[in-house]
């Protein structure tokens, strides 16, 4: 029986194959919304709340729910386990039965959505429903205070550069039992050395009713000659409560940064102890502790040694030199390459040093991560992918051509038979 393949079918399969090649990776990803839930205490009542579980993968996600924390014993989730179809959201509910009494303030719990193994994976693995990951939705129960009571907080702030404008937002939450009228305040900005720089009047809130939240706003333009460093914004607002409401938040002008400005190697002799000197410069206005560098040495693209410099505290805006020592085993070669990775304040800076006993040291930025072997691997994988893709396209083209030829052959035979009949 002859195999017939239509052009349309082949094109469809080719498209699917290309998509598989391009997007073959699968990433675990479940989510929850809202990201947090804040609810108001109602003594003795039972309320139901809705939330959404999201599956960002194409395959079904098997999940289970559990709650921990102070309020966990008062929270019930009707579904202990569920399945969220691929690329979709699913609605869930939890019930909270408020106790008859809670002290004023915030009482919390955490709702976990944990992805587990599917039944098929369980049968194959035989090791139980292993957790693949989890997301957390904090649940906060707010118990109002008697009288007037507000809480203030600044959201986290980004770093700015000298001369840049920064906008401040202060959240005001009324957790008391009375209205707050004509609420406003002053933002006080202090410099890295704690000196007051400027006072900024905020906008005002005409009326803040119980259990409502609103914003006070202000802005400041950092001078072009502003000192780099960590600044503070403070506020203290009188509103008629027992004591003023306070809030503060840090922000930065500039950022912690140290650069590698030069590097060199000395005492490069066979079976000797080579010495690396790495010159660094801090661009930050405060000292940075725990600064060190990793040095990975390559010879003909092969990693031959890994060493670490001593750690040091770099003073504000200072230049320093990190020292590292290399135990050379065997004869010294003409040329080496070293990848220098500078570590500071949870950041890294990388430079590549070319050096040798008779070679002038040359420092440059890396054009690829991970050394020469990484770029060779990337090039090899890319070439292999192209070869495979071209081979598949050629194979499918031959099938299409063969299919068209098969369709023409019966027509040619019919035409020949007609000629024979006429004769």
Q: pLDDT of 52-104, one tens digit each? A: 999 988 889 999 999 999 999 999 999 999 999 999 999 999 999 999 999 98
Q: How far is CA 334 from CA 266, 278, 306, 358, in A?
A: 13, 21, 19, 7
Pick the CATH number of 29-143 from 2.60.40.10, 1.25.40.340, 1.10.357.140, 3.20.20.70: 2.60.40.10
CB 82 within 8 A of CB 123: no
Q: What is the pLDDT of residues 132-187, one digit of tens each?
A: 778 999 999 989 998 999 999 999 888 898 999 999 999 999 999 899 999 999 99
| 23-37, 80-94, 316-330: least confidently modelled range | 23-37
Per-residue CA distances from 160 to 171, 187, 218 (Å): 21, 18, 16
pLDDT in tens, 348-398: 999 999 999 988 888 887 654 344 444 445 556 667 767 777 776 777 767
Enter the CATH code of domain 258-367.
2.60.40.10
CA–centroid distance for 336 within its chain: 35
How far apart (Å, rounded) are the C-alpha atoms in residues 139 and 95?
A: 12
Closest CA to 297 of 288, 309, 289, 305: 305
Tens-place pLDDT, residues 243-271:
999 999 999 898 788 999 999 999 999 99
Residue 18's φ and ψ, nearest 5 degrees, are -65, -40
Which is nearest to 328 in space by CA: 268, 266, 399, 385? 268
Q: How many other C-beta atoms can be found within 10 angstroms of the C-beta atom of residue 271?
A: 10
Angle, helices 7-22 vs 372-422, to 10°: value is 180
Determine the pLDDT at residue 405. Answer: 59
Average of per-residue pLDDT across 229-234: 92
Model pLDDT for residues 300-316, shown as the tens digit of each residue: 989 999 999 999 999 98
CATH of domain 150-253: 2.60.40.10
Q: Which residues contact 413 (CB under 8 A, 6 or more apart)?
A: none
């Amino acid at each position: 029986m002859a195999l017939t393949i239509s052009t349309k079918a082949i094109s469809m399969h080719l498209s699917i194959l290309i998509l598989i090649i391009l997007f073959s990776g699968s990433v675990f990803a479940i989510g929850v919304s809202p990201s947090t839930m804040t609810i108001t205490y109602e003594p003795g009542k039972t309320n139901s709340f809705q939330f959404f579980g999201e599956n960002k993968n194409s395959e079904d996600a098997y999940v289970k729910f559990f709650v921990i924390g102070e309020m966990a014993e008062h929270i019930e989730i009707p579904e202990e386990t569920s399945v969220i179809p691929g690329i979709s959201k699913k609605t869930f509910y939890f019930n909270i039965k408020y106790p008859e009494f809670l002290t004023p303030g915030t009482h919390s719990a955490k709702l976990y959505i944990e992805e587990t193994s599917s039944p098929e994976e369980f049968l194959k693995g035989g090791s139980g429903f292993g957790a693949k990951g989890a997301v957390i939705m904090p649940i906060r129960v707010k118990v109002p205070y008697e009288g007037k009571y507000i809480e203030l907080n600044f959201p986290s702030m980004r770093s700015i550069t000298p001369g840049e404008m920064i906008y401040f937002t202060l959240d005001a939450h009324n957790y008391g039992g009375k209205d707050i009228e004509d609420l406003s305040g002053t933002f006080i900005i202090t410099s890295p050395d704690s000196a007051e720089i400027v006072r900024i009047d905020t906008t005002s809130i005409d009326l803040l009713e119980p259990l409502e939240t609103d914003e006070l706003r202000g802005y400041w333009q950092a001078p072009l000659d502003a000192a780099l460093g960590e600044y503070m914004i403070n506020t203290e607002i009188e509103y008629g409560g027992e004591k003023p409401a306070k809030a503060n938040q840090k922000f930065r002008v500039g950022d912690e940064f140290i650069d590698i400005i030069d590097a060199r190697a000395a005492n490069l002799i066979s079976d000797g102890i080579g010495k690396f000197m790495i010159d660094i410069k801090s661009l930050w206005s405060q000292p940075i502790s725990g600064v060190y560098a990793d040095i990975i040495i390559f010879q003909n693209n092969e990693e031959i040694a890994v060493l670490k410099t001593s750690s040091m505290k770099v003073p504000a805006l200072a230049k320093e030199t990190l020292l590292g020592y290399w135990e050379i085993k065997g004869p010294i070669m003409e040329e080496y390459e070293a990848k220098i990775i500078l570590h500071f304040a949870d950041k890294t800076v990388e430079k590549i040093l070319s050096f040798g006993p008779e070679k002038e040291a040359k420092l440059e930025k890396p054009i690829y991560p991970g050394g020469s072997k990484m770029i060779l691997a990337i090039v090899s994988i890319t070439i292999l992918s192209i070869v495979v893709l071209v081979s598949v396209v050629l194979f499918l083209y031959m099938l299409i051509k063969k299919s068209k030829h098969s369709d023409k052959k019966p027509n040619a035979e019919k035409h020949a038979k007609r000629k024979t009949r006429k004769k």
